[in-house]
Structure 1
Amino acid sequence: MDGAFTSTLDRKAKSAAARLTGGISPVALLGAFTDWGLHLAGSPGKQIELVEKGLTGAANLLRFGLHCMTEPESGATHPAQAQKGDHRFDAPAWERFPFNLWSQSFLLTEQWWHEATTSVRGVTRQHSDVVAFVTRQLLDMAAPSNTPLTNPVVLEQTILQGGANLLRGAQNFLEDLGRQLSHERAAGDDFKVGVDLAATPGKVILRNRLAEVIQYAPATETVQAEPILIVPAWIMKYYILDLSAQNSLVRYLTGRGHTVFIISWKNPDGGDRDLGLDDYRQLGVMAALDAVSAIVPGEKIHAAGYCLGGTLLSIAAAAMARDGDRRLASLTLLAAQTDFTEPGEIALFINESQVTFLEDMMWQRGFLETGQMAGAFQLLRSNDLIWSRLIHDYLLGQREKLIDLMSWNADATRMPFRMHSEYLRHLFLDNELARAQFKVGEHTVALTDIRVPVFAVGTVTDHVAPWRSVYKINQLTDTDVTFLLTSGGHNAGIVAGPENPRRHYQIGHRLATDAHVDPERFEQQAPRRDGSWWPAWAGWIEGLQADRPRVAPPPLGNADAGYAAIEEAPGSYVHQS
């Protein structure tokens, strides 16, 4: 029988299965649970530990319950404490009986299952993490905070409002469902792209089949001599770096006198299925560098990449260094990984079985659908992004107006079949970039070839690009590296405008000739500084050209060089759904 036919049949079968499972490979899950279950079954010592922990927890819970019933006013020592960041049981109402008993029972159960699914000798690290993650998701579904009769806050409001909160919640649910089915923006999202978001003035000066390049209008009479090019990730729209005025990194930079360019990626469809990583490099990074060089001739460029954009930019910078292209003045990586041995919890979704499953699902349509990656990220913080919303919107019947970052987060994009497959295989699975085995053209590239100064930003609570993983740029390059660790997560930590009073950061510098400092020592030794990290980064770029006088702003575009202004920012690609 024709091999192409059987291969197509396999892909179609797996693609159909993927739609039923939300893109999660059942084989990968079965393999993880089998590995864990068999090793646990062969570990009598671990079983004894679990029995002892279960009996101890049950006895403590019984003691706690009896104390709450007999001496409700005196207070009892809680047998379990919620993990850091878990605020489900913070409300004072949870201290009343029987709600305190239910919450403590849940937390003890949660702790027992964590102990049961981790530290089982012989289980691979990823399988252990997958089992622990899936078990945690199942437990979170059953949390007493998620149902009206076992959540004292919801129960109290239901009595006070005569059930009106549940009626509003049902209306909210139906409205959200209708908006999702019709691909409308979320309720409470009053932001408009080009008006409230992505509103910094500028011109689109380049458009090709994959990217638009925006040049922003100057906000000062004179500017720094060397321009900045920003390469965002293509998982979501570029304007996370140009949100509302107080949260716009682009507006902040132009306000300090920088000439700023940014790439706005196309939202790919089935016709773009064969676009690969190198297409993103050539049609995105390299095309943008050509445009910047034509508009600001003779000047080196400070290139900054965010998330996947930073990974792509590091590949481009290594290839440029290999090939003798000296146009870069510096390289900035914002929450961007170059080594994928410790990629964080997102690695739970990435192994050979899972990647093959995703490839077959993407093969059918030619792209990864918008909700697939967004859903995976939501699961990483399900209590904050899923269950808290269920309680707030559907059980309490409340609505909150979305902030600019939440509005951006809902504006998801697709990813081409070939590019995403290459990204997962070559970078995540095989870690080729860190091992100097990633090919650009006919030859491999090495990050050690990069000689320009590097500025890397990690965020403390990043689930996508853990800061210790981002920190590895210190080991992978032979150049001066400035590393900054800021409070917040993958998105909120980067979007930290100077007016935000809750941010703080640590910063350290390492010369190419300095001895290695491990991340733990960096965290201990680097002093904490209050405020946004934006001024520190902008000051670093300005320091690299401190001996250069400021100059008159360049024109918007250069028609003679083929970069005439096409339309007003934010352009057309950002509006694609």
Structure 2
Amino acid sequence: MADGNPSGDQGKAGTVPGVPTLEDLQRWTYVIGRAQQMMMEHGLDQAARGEAAGPFALMPAPAAGLKLMQAGADFWADSMKMWSRMLSPEGTMPTEEKGAKDKRFAAAAWRENPVFDMIRQSYLLLSDHMLKSVDAVEGLSDADRERLRFTTRGIVDAMSPSNFAWTNPEVIERTLETRGENLLKGLEHMLRDMGQGQLTHTPGDAFELGRNIAATPGKVVKETPLYQLIQYAPTTETVLSVPLLIFPPWINRYYILDLSAEKSFIRWAVDQGLTVFVVSWKSADATMADVTWDDYVVRGQIDAIDTVRDLLDVESVHAIGYCVAGTTLAATLALLTARGEAEKVKSATFFTAQVDFAAAGDLSLFIADQLKLVEQLSGDGFLDGRYMAATFNSLRGRDLIWNYVTNNYLLGKDYAPFDLLHWNGDTTNLPAKWHQSYLADLYRDNKLVTPGAISVDGVAIDLGAVATPSYVQAGREDHIAPAESVWRITDHFKGPVRFVLAGSGHIAGVVNPPAAGKYQYWVNEGDAPDFASFVAGATETKGSWWPDWIRWIERQDERRVPVEGARVPGGGKLEAIEDAPGRYVRAR
């Protein structure tokens, strides 16, 4: 491989290629500049003749030409600025250079070596203009534009020079240092992932259920074909009279709320003096081919609510619904209200849950594709959870896909133990019929917020009738359930709602124990009519929102009772079946 050094010296072992001469840089300036000009001229010529491919074909030719001409001119001007800086005697870059904090280019060689500095800057410039070009396309609906933007962002991330061995100075240096062992090890990683049909994020043997994750002491006290009910051992002498029942999403394992002891929301809630129950959903198999929306609401959530009420001889429970289980919890509340049984739920808490899908984020852009995928891949009545994992990974492709391609395939690094990513890879199968209904009725048609548009157990439901006190948590950087979309629950429930905006995203925004001292949250004690008004008038508090939540729970009912009888797992009419975390969470 030529190194740009006229003497032909390769430099000492372990270094990236040498410094190019001024003549080399001038030649590359001409080549890249000419290539850019040719692409721009070709695009304009196609547009003028109405032959533009892709979204440009939707545009009237004159409009397409004008937009492309302006985009090309901007690209050319920025390119010239970049090359002027590269060829200047000082070779310095602006202090606040675009992409300066990009983790992909953190290594010093991306800036100190002129060749890789040129590659990096060229990529950042091209990717920036590719994303800007989305806004230059006329004649697209808002939905089509967002789909184009998402696809373009995926292409931009995939074409990063950090993802390829011979355009990444770290990989070249690592290859020279290890004499190619990194590439062999990376190939081993890649072949193993191909064999298991899933990208690896963390060592498979680093975590064990019941030992260092999902290890909060408890017992399985009930099992149905749909779920196991876990009751956790109390750690306080008295507990709040009203118990807590948690519904995790069935698209993931429940122990996202019971990771390591330091991160476990479940353990923390037990320590606050709550009698805690958690539903552990069964990973779908062929026996669940006919499971529908009604099953998760009636034979899942309401059945668990009634079970806990009967076991502890209490009138009501505090309920938590996380993500899609929060969506279902809203339907559960509406059904209970329609039946005149709203008092069964004392309060409802929603973790990053949507009920109004009008602005549901990137996932909503590809519902038609997802529906086809479910139909094609669920011949046995269920969808393999690895497909859903790949979908969620693609929403954060730079972090959850390409970062691992670089580190583990190209650099050949070992996987770092990380309990959250272990959970992320512990996939759950989904009942196909219900998942299709969920995508079509909720994401695509947004029926849940239309009174009477959806029925559960033969009863038409109306979210507008729900008066249950609710605590709604959203993540400021959530890419799965955008905060503004989560906010919309406040437009539908008629009961009191406390909305809390947490720092970080869909997982870290929820799993944020107070002891960690991380992130922050915002509340607005005023009457905010919309999300923008909430943000404008919100007050920030450093750290976790969990203490705010437990104070809110105690305000609903502060009565306490001794820990005895059924308050201890297996001490009441339901005998302990097995130790937590139970067999359902272990099933593959």
Is the 2:165–2:172 Cα contact (8 Å) retained in structure 1?
yes
Distance in 1, Cα, partners of 2:130 & 2:200: 39
The answer to whether residue 75 in structure 2 is matched with residue 67 in structure 1 is no
The answer to whether residue 556 in structure 2 is matched with residue 544 in structure 1 is yes
The answer to whether residue 173 in structure 2 is matched with residue 162 in structure 1 is no
Corresponding residue for residue 53 of structure 1: 71
The one of 547, 559, 565 aligned to 2:576 = 565
C-alpha offsets along residues 490-521 of structure 1, whole Å, 9 cap, x if unaligned? 112111112223221112346xxx5x421112
Q: How does 1:36-47 map to 2 (within 5 A)?
A: 36-40=55-59, 42=60, 44-47=62-65
2:166 is matched by which residue type in structure 1?
L
Secondary structure in structure 2 of the residue aligned to 1:128: helix
Give the number of aligned pairs.
Answer: 533
Is the 1:249–1:495 Cα contact (8 Å) retained in structure 2?
yes
Corresponding residue for residue 442 of structure 2: 427
Q: 1:509 to 1:296 in 2, by over 3 A?
A: farther
Secondary structure in structure 1 of the residue aligned to 2:103: coil
Distance in 2, Cα, partners of 1:148 & 1:444: 58
Displacement of 1:371: 1.2
The answer to whether residue 93 in structure 2 is matched with residue 76 in structure 1 is yes
Secondary structure in structure 2 of the residue aligned to 1:472: helix
The one of 382, 397, 401 aligned to 2:397 = 382
Is the 1:474–1:481 Cα contact (8 Å) retained in structure 2?
yes
Displacement of 1:86: 4.5
Displacement of 1:358: 2.9
Distance in 1, Cα, partners of 2:280 & 2:516: 26
Is the 2:481–2:506 Cα contact (8 Å) retained in structure 1?
yes
Secondary structure in structure 2 of the residue aligned to 1:247: coil
Is the 2:501–2:521 Cα contact (8 Å) retained in structure 1?
yes
2:147 is matched by which residue type in structure 1?
V
C-alpha offsets along residues 140-185 of structure 1, whole Å, 9 cap, x if unaligned? 222111112211222233333333332332233334445x269999
2:286 is matched by which residue type in structure 1?
G
Unaligned residue ranges in structure 1 (runs of 5+): 1-32
2:468 is matched by which residue type in structure 1?
V
Q: 1:345 to 1:190 in 2, by over 3 A?
A: same
Q: How does 1:3-42 map to 2 (within 5 A)?
A: 36-40=55-59, 42=60
Corresponding residue for residue 148 of structure 1: 165
Q: 1:175 to 1:236 in 2, by over 3 A?
A: same
Corresponding residue for residue 534 of structure 1: 546
Secondary structure in structure 2 of the residue aligned to 1:192: coil
Displacement of 1:375: 0.7
1:124 is matched by which residue type in structure 2?
S
C-alpha offsets along residues 546-565 of structure 1, whole Å, 9 cap, x if unaligned? 3x24433452457875x322
Distance in 2, Cα, partners of 1:506 & 1:184: 35
Secondary structure in structure 2 of the residue aligned to 1:229: strand
Distance in 1, Cα, partners of 2:283 & 2:428: 6
Distance in 2, Cα, partners of 1:199 & 1:79: 46
Q: Which moved more, 1:47-56 or 1:419-428?
A: 47-56
Is the 1:78–1:104 Cα contact (8 Å) retained in structure 2?
no
Displacement of 1:246: 0.5
Is the 2:298–2:457 Cα contact (8 Å) retained in structure 1?
no
Q: 1:431 to 1:564 in 2, by over 3 A?
A: same
Distance in 1, Cα, partners of 2:96 & 2:276: 55
Secondary structure in structure 2 of the residue aligned to 1:457: strand
Secondary structure in structure 2 of the residue aligned to 1:246: coil
Distance in 2, Cα, partners of 1:311 & 1:224: 26
Higher relative contact order (CA 8 A, sep 6+): 1
Displacement of 1:533: 1.3
Distance in 1, Cα, partners of 2:246 & 2:61: 52
C-alpha offsets along residues 48-94 of structure 1, whole Å, 9 cap, x if unaligned? 233233233234324423432442x44034997239x8432233322
2:548 is matched by which residue type in structure 1?
A
Displacement of 1:186: 5.4
Unaligned residue ranges in structure 2 (runs of 5+): 1-51
Q: How does 1:258-277 map to 2 (within 5 A)?
A: 258-277=274-293
Structure 1: 4+ residue segments shifted above 6 A: 182-185
Q: Which moved more, 1:305-314 or 1:168-177?
A: 168-177
Q: 1:567 to 1:185 in 2, by over 3 A?
A: farther
Corresponding residue for residue 394 of structure 1: 409
Q: Which moved more, 1:523-532 or 1:361-370?
A: 361-370
C-alpha offsets along residues 238-269 of structure 1, whole Å, 9 cap, x if unaligned? 11011110111000000111000010000111
Corresponding residue for residue 502 of structure 1: 518
Corresponding residue for residue 467 of structure 2: 451
Is the 1:225–1:299 Cα contact (8 Å) retained in structure 2?
no
1:332 is matched by which residue type in structure 2?
T
The one of 280, 304, 321 aligned to 2:320 = 304
2:436 is matched by which residue type in structure 1?
S
Corresponding residue for residue 26 of structure 1: none
The answer to whether residue 185 in structure 2 is matched with residue 171 in structure 1 is no
The answer to whether residue 312 in structure 2 is matched with residue 293 in structure 1 is no
Distance in 2, Cα, partners of 1:355 & 1:106: 31
Distance in 1, Cα, partners of 2:500 & 2:223: 34
Corresponding residue for residue 104 of structure 1: 121
Corresponding residue for residue 19 of structure 1: none
Q: How does 1:324-335 map to 2 (within 5 A)?
A: 324-325=340-341, 326-335=343-352
The answer to whether residue 168 in structure 2 is matched with residue 138 in structure 1 is no
Corresponding residue for residue 576 of structure 1: 587
2:85 is matched by which residue type in structure 1?
H
2:393 is matched by which residue type in structure 1?
Q
The answer to whether residue 334 in structure 2 is matched with residue 318 in structure 1 is yes
Distance in 1, Cα, partners of 2:166 & 2:569: 62
Distance in 2, Cα, partners of 1:243 & 1:304: 17
Secondary structure in structure 1 of the residue aligned to 2:349: strand
2:108 is matched by which residue type in structure 1?
P
Secondary structure in structure 1 of the residue aligned to 2:238: coil
Is the 1:458–1:485 Cα contact (8 Å) retained in structure 2?
yes
Distance in 1, Cα, partners of 2:365 & 2:508: 23
Is the 2:293–2:456 Cα contact (8 Å) retained in structure 1?
no
Is the 1:272–1:366 Cα contact (8 Å) retained in structure 2?
yes
Secondary structure in structure 2 of the residue aligned to 1:528: strand
Aligned residues with identical type, % of pairs: 35
Distance in 2, Cα, partners of 1:43 & 1:116: 16
Distance in 2, Cα, partners of 1:412 & 1:315: 25
Corresponding residue for residue 388 of structure 2: 373
Distance in 1, Cα, partners of 2:394 & 2:197: 21
Q: How does 1:510-525 map to 2 (within 5 A)?
A: 514=527, 516-525=528-537
Is the 1:486–1:504 Cα contact (8 Å) retained in structure 2?
yes
Displacement of 1:524: 2.1
TM-score normalised by L of structure 2:
0.85
Corresponding residue for residue 358 of structure 1: 373
Q: 1:211 to 1:64 in 2, by over 3 A?
A: same
Corresponding residue for residue 16 of structure 1: none
